[in-house]
Chains A and B, each alone.
Chain A
Amino acid sequence: MSASLTKVLIANRGEIAVRLIRGCREMGLKTVAVYSECDRTAQHVRHADQAYAIGPNPPRQSYLRIDRIIDAARASGADAVHPGYGFLAENPEFARACRDAGLIFIGPTPEAMDLMGSKTAARAVAIAAGVPVVPGTKEPLGPEAPMADVARIAAEVGYPILIKAVSGGGGKGMRTVTDPAELASALRAARSEALSAFGDPAVYIERRVMRPRHIEIQLLGDHHGTVVPFVERECSIQRRHQKVVEESPSLQVNPGTRRALAAAAAAVARGVGYTNAGTIEFLLDQNGEFFFLEMNTRLQVEHPITELVTLTDLVHWQLRIARGERLDLDPEQALVPRGHAIECRIYAEDPDRDFLPSPGRITAMRLPAGPGIRCDDCGAVAGADVPVSYDPLIAKLSAWAVDRPTAIARMARALGEYDVRGIKTTIPFFRWLLADPDFLAGRFDTTFIDRALACRNGQPFQEVPPEDEHLSIVAAAVHAMTQKTAAASPAAAAAGDGRWKRHARNQGLR
């Protein structure tokens, strides 16, 4: 089976749309962008070969409109669709709609998505594949389940428990319960959040593994039955269950554990006949035992670090697999890490206001560069607005080096160069994190960030050392003076280098 692939519609926006366009271009494929009103000037629109408007800003009226996206694919002559991550990436109805329209969907089958998208069904697949799972319920608990049953199940699973949304993700619809007396109210809260975030109030119960590491295995599956797992990603640095920093490889995983994780991940993927890119998530406890958590049937946000340490291009492989090519990677080499990579997710959020989104106009932007730096950014430039309608991820900054300390040094250096003005970003938070002794020593688990933030007692991230205060004074004073000079004298306002600048300075002296 060999399918022809010439033009790919990217059903997404922001940094991932740019990254996918680059991957397609490198393979000689044409690209089609779709955009909402506020994304008219976004980089993915400017870089694609064709671009179609698909509606007003709210995702429900644009990036989630299956009909409009399929229409754009037809109108543009695209023969394939790449869903990116988020939005419709794990929506089986969208995958089916593409298939029905004769479009190649760059991702797994709708059937695999259906199966692995339900957390309880996915756990059943893992158990059938002989992979350990976190102790928990087999069946989802809908709102009609009697409280007495839920209490009994919770006691069987064993406290502390985690109530999780069956259709959930991203940390929403989750509640920890340590005391049985809190079960009823936690259940109500979790259901309500699950209903509003995912439209499904069904929950399931899992044992809460204390102080776990979140380790995930990237894999690729072709249409010929071959599954190749890769070096693990360490994703334990999370704030409120959302990943903020990812690394590869993990300091906690030795080659033996790596093989075991890879074998388990591949077994689960083969168990559902998985094709294209996917990731299996595990929890690693303090004893080095691991448990299957869930499977993500899409390309993930943090895929760059795997690309950096395994010298692969996952997007190229996604396209090649979709074309029917065989995975001719050496599976042994896919499990050998080359150097160390770290990624920071840079968000337009204010770390001094509990990471509240900080939409608004960017007035200046300077991206980091230099050795070992990969910046997958959304292409926002000075003058662009960070919209309120979407997840405010402005870039994924990755650093690669021969070892972890050097990768950290490179990341710290790059964060110092990364200057974004006009909005608040999480860059000051990352600068603090990359200097934290526990982070440097690799002493962390999924509770680390929340605990470390609590210890700061509201001390602002946005601050400068007292010895640099004079710089702020000089900067503000110089700025006020140059603004006044520019306003007063048009010649000075046009000042560039050399003669004109000297002229401007002279004007200021009179």
Chain B
Amino acid sequence: MFLLAFRRSRRGFYQSVTDSSVDIRDVTKRHGATVAVDHLSLKIRKSEFFSILGPSGSGKTTTLRLLAGFEQPDSGEILIEGAPMQGVPPNRRPVNLVFQNYALFPHMTVSENVAFGLEMKGLPPAEVGPRVVDALDMVRLAGKQDRLPSQLSGGEQQRVALARALVNRPAVLLLDEPLGALDRQLRQEMEVELKVLQERVGITFVCVTHDQEEALTMSDRLAVLHHGRLLQVGTPEEIYSGPVSGFVANFIGVSNSLSGRVQELHGETVSIAVDGIGVVRSIAPPGVDVGRSVVMTIRPERLRLAHDTGHEDPNDRRNHLIVRVAKAIYSGSDTHYLLTLPNNQVWKAAVQNSESPGKRFSAGEPASLTWSPADAVVLTE
């Protein structure tokens, strides 16, 4: 999550709506009896790194193909840079797609692959050469011009695919699960590289993925899709700390939850009665009244564990629970604890190891669990 700092350093996003690079207006697409994309409306801004996130079957790949032009919407409109794309085939759209398995032409060298789009557009050979060289430099593949795709590693192939798309200077670059085929180490490196690349070229990137870590790391904004419907759009922070539904909360990062009924409302604060636990306090969401069923969710890293299971300070507005540590899982920078709550639910807590070297817990130990009401999100459903 340290890469969140990356985005904070960028300029603000106070652009008007007419600055849309991609405008999807109420688009629906059916595949046979299934509705792949269901009345989707989305605006993607110029020069932003936008991710479409969702599990398989959520319609994200279909959305990408609709943008690329390989499929046409059954209803609704798609505009790219303000121009309607109705009936426009892929070879006439100002977009280029980086395919999931790269789709490099096996019978052409790296430079022939990269030059392909320029050739098709009729660029004179004298101009093609330098642009290919520039594109390969940009993805750090200089010197491999004459290799065949079969002679490259997975990471190198991906960079060729990127160069091949970017060299055409499209208005929008589409990426289909760009990091899916890479191993973990490479993936983390490429997350940074892609982000840097996008900032350098300034083109709108639309990336489709099922990996929430990728989406949160690289995107300026992201959209969560489920069963073809848009659930939420926002910056990574907005979505992570303010999910609008249980699905989003659970899909993005790990989330712990408690279900209960609203007992009291004090202005902004709400008291929720949970069976087997007691009363927990949180920030009231809009439109909730007493008696309503709600779900309170909280992220693992917002939980605090202490050995002192003793007395509560009445002035302490935080929530307290006595729990038992079921399991401690060491994972490098953090330790994850599986905690058994008084109502036998299992929660996950994440504690940074650097923070509290002396405060380790072992399985079977009791512990005091604390969290602030402001750190939880209450969802009505």
A and B are interacting partners: no
